[in-house]
Chain A
Amino acid sequence: MSGIVRRAAASLYAFTFNLFERPMLAAQRAVGMRRVAWLFLLPNLVAFALFTFLPIGLNFVYALTGSDAILLADRPFVGTANFASLLDCASYLDPNSCRRDIFWRAVHNTGWFVLLQVGFMVALALVTALILNRDIPLRGFFRGVFFYPVLLSPVVVALIWKWVLQRYGVLNAGLEEIGAEPVNWLVRADWAFFWVVFVSIWAHMGFYVLILLAGLQAIPAHVYEAAEMDGTSKWRVFSRITMPLLMPTMVVVLVLSLIRAVQAFDEIYVLTGGGPGSATMLVLQYIYETGFASQPRLFGLAAAASILMAVVLFVLTLGQLWLTRSRAEGDSR
């Protein structure tokens, strides 16, 4: 049975690629061997040009023009008015002082979210990876358990927790069982924010556990054996051997999770819709709502907000490149 399937797949594969044989041969003859590489690069470059490079330019153009028109010709140049509108705050420490827009509220929320989510998640991922790296039965199973939510779609993640957290959900029932007061989790602002952070950690931690685990397993066993021969205490093994050797991986994990956290949106949007009020609205949701979900569609404002977010991401990525580069140099030394 599987033999038939495999053969069918193989002949389908051969048939499909054979279709391109003659045109590609003709093209190869036409451009010559020296430029044949461009033939293979072409589809990818076209896609990049259309959906990555062109948009980068357009982003600035839209950020500097106003009105809700989609066509460039209909959009008047407004200079930095969009940015001014986003950043029109009396004090940047108090989002309530912004007169025109709730962007700064979203920035504020995102800042706290990034701080809490990344901090707790990386710490928990480290603990989990250290435990899973121990010589324990069922290791593979537990690794799978912690990783499983990573694969779930954000909508599914949000619905799973929405069902648990609803007013008459299993969590409140459990609380009442032990005599505590039930809470309307997603309606109270502080609790909603807590659960947004919690669910986000729940959904993404497994990925970082996996990377840290790979980092831990890359530490050669003889280093530990040498330490054991020296009679090093467990704590010293951890603080003087494991952690320094794991540091490069930790840096990668930290930066990757920071970059992801700044762009958090999906599960939070489905879980709380940014509510109650705008208590859990993050920057990406602001961009989505401003540019696409509300009428009129304020593309300019959304583009301007995107650019501000891009600047943060750019700095983070440069930081990563810088840190990993100095690591590579360290390796070669």
Chain B
Amino acid sequence: MAQLDLDGLIKDYGDVRAVHGVDLVVEEGEFCVFVGPSGCGKSTLLRMIAGLEEITGGELRIDGVRVNEQRASERGLAMVFQSYALYPHMTVRQNLAFGLENIRLPKGQIVEKVAEAARMLQLEEYLDRKPRQLSGGQRQRVAIGRCVVREPRVFLFDEPLSNLDAELRVTMRGEIADLHKRLGNTMVYVTHDQVEAMTMADKIVVLREGRVEQVGRPLDLYNRPANLFVAGFIGSPRMNLFDATVAGVEVGALKVKDAQGRAFHGAVAVDGLSPGEAVVLGIRPEHVLLSDHEEEDCLAVTVEGIEQLGGHSYLHCRSDAGASLTAHVAGQTALRRGSCTNAVLRRAFIHVFRKADGAAFERQVIGEAA
């Protein structure tokens, strides 16, 4: 178990900078997820921690000790690869034992540790098979087992579930979470799937173009996205966003107008805002209420598409100003395509971002359950 310190980590490929000075602390025993769209540098960052990519600048410390110059094998980490990277010419048993043989562990101990890992991951029956004779889930477990036997200080996962089908992905998500609970190790997990990040992480690091956009607990990120990018990336379906202009500033409340001149109110900190400034208004689908009569903070919309999921429904609407808006409705809905209705944006849940740089204004209401 160990604490990871990333101190201004930089990675250059020739003239191209892939990672721009990442600062981060992963606490001991924490499950930390790097999430971001493809090409955001999350895998590069993970491989830099692993020792598979050279660190161009900054410092990486494990338990306070600088490891920039150490080789991958010397850092005491283990990694599950996206492709699993099981040695195809070795049996499951040999795959599990390979790393232990490399450090010249006595035979008896190797057998013991392999048996223990196999038991834990329910691989005992498959020990003498080759990887190609295993199903996707079994391969995944072997890849994890290969890390487990090594008793590493930190587990690294590089998009480990992306090759599995949807159902298996849910199961394996649970298994990895269990593993973390049982072993209590520090784990760093890379994914592009925000659902994985939300469900598994103690701490999420959102990355974009080699920069950290926000670090925080899953619900903090969901409730208080620091900027437009995080707001759009976390949450499914995405947060509704549309342009507006500041109309009035009061203490702890903001009045904005959209292009049509309709007024909305948001409970956000207003420091540094002045009337006339361009902002982006954000509201999550579950915070949009549909109403058959006009109210305050409301928008006339036409239903363009309906996703009936049984337990709840999503309605994809368009306002007369042309902005698209998705609304979450509990249960099933009687509305049809083409129906006209009113969408009320709940004042307490409105997010406001500065148009110029996308930064969020802090929301004032804390109780999210409301």
Do A and B share a direct contact in the complex (Cβ within 8 angstroms)?
yes
User: Is A54 interfacial (CB-CB < 8 Å)?
Assistant: no
| Per-residue contact bits, chain A 1-37, to B (CB 8 Å; 1 contact, 0 not) | 0000000000000000000000000000000011000
CB-CB contacts below 8 Å: B40-85 with A: 54, 71
In the complex, A33→B71 CA distance in Å? 9
Interface hits, A33-48 → B, CB 8 Å:
33-34
Closest Cβ neighbor of A28 among chain B residues: B71
B300 vs chain A, min Cβ distance (A)? 55
State which size class the interface on B falls in.
Answer: under 10
Min distance, Cβ B28 to any Cβ of chain A, angstroms: 29
| Residues on A with beta carbons closer than 8 Å to the beta carbon of B54 | 33-34
Tell me which residues across on chain B come within 8 A of A33, comparing CB atoms.
54, 71
Min CB gap A323→B, angstroms: 35
Chain A interface extent, by class: under 10
- Considering the complex, give the chain B residue whose CB is closest to the CB of A33: B71
CA–CA, A34 and B54, complex, Å: 10
Chain B residue numbers with a CB within 8 Å of A34 are 54
Q: Separation in Å of the A19 CB from the closest CB of chain B?
A: 15
**Could you tell me the distance in whole angstroms from the C-beta of B330 to the nearest C-beta in chain A?**
55
CB distance from B310 to the nearest CB of A (A): 47
Write out the residue numbers on chain A whose beta carbons fall within 8 Å of the beta carbon of B71: 33
1/0 per residue A197-219: CB within 8 Å of B? Answer: 00000000000000000000000
Whose C-beta in chain B lies nearest to the C-beta of A29? B71
* Bound Cα distance A34, B71 (Å): 11
CB proximity of A20 to chain B, nearest CB, Å: 15
Within 8 A of A (CB), among B96-126: none
CA distance A228 to B316 in the complex (A): 53
With both beta carbons as reference points, the residue of chain B lying nearest to A34 in the complex is identified as B54
Cβ-closest chain A residue relative to B72: A33
CB of B89 to closest CB in A, whole Å: 11
- Closest chain A CB from B319 CB (angstroms): 49
* Closest A residue by C-beta to B71: A33
Question: Please, how many angstroms separate the alpha-carbon atoms of A135 and B54 in the complex?
Answer: 57
Closest CB in chain A relative to B128 CB, distance in Å:
15
Give the shortest distance, in Å, between A25 (CB) and chain B (any CB): 11
C-alpha spacing A33/B53, complex, angstroms: 11
Separation of A120 and B344 alpha carbons in the complex (Å): 88
A33 CA / B54 CA spacing, docked (Å): 10
Q: Mark B120-157, 1 if CB is under 8 A from A, else 0.
A: 00000000000000000000000000000000000000
A34 to B56, CA, bound (A): 13
* A33 and B69 alpha carbons, distance in the complex (Å): 10
B132 to chain A, nearest CB (A): 20
Measured CB to CB, the closest approach of chain B to A88, in angstroms, equals 57
Within the complex, the shortest CB–CB distance from A212 to chain B, in Å, comes to 35
* Assembled-state Cα–Cα distance A319/B32 (Å): 59
- Shortest C-beta distance, B74 to chain A (Å), equals 11
> CA separation between A33 and B51, bound complex, in Å?
11
**How many whole Å from B326's CB to the nearest CB in chain A?**
44
Chain A residue, CB-CB nearest to B51: A33
Q: Closest CB of chain A to B56's CB: distance in Å? A: 13
Interfacial residues of chain B within 248-283, with CB under 8 A of chain A in the complex: none
- Chain B residues 182-197 with CB under 8 Å of chain A are none
CA distance A198 to B54 in the complex (A): 61
Q: How close is A10's CB to chain B, nearest CB, in angstroms?
A: 11
Complex Cα distance A33/B52, Å? 11
Q: Would you give the shortest CB distance from A229 to chain B, in whole angstroms?
A: 40
CB distance from B60 to the nearest CB of A (A): 16
Interface residues of A in 265-297 (CB under 8 A from B): none
Smallest beta-carbon distance A6→chain B, Å: 13
A5 to B71: give the CA distance in the assembly, Å: 38
Q: Can you give 3 contacting A-B residue pairs, CB < 8 Å?
A: A33-B54, A33-B71, A34-B54
CB-CB nearest 3 A-B residue pairs: A33-B71, A34-B54, A33-B54
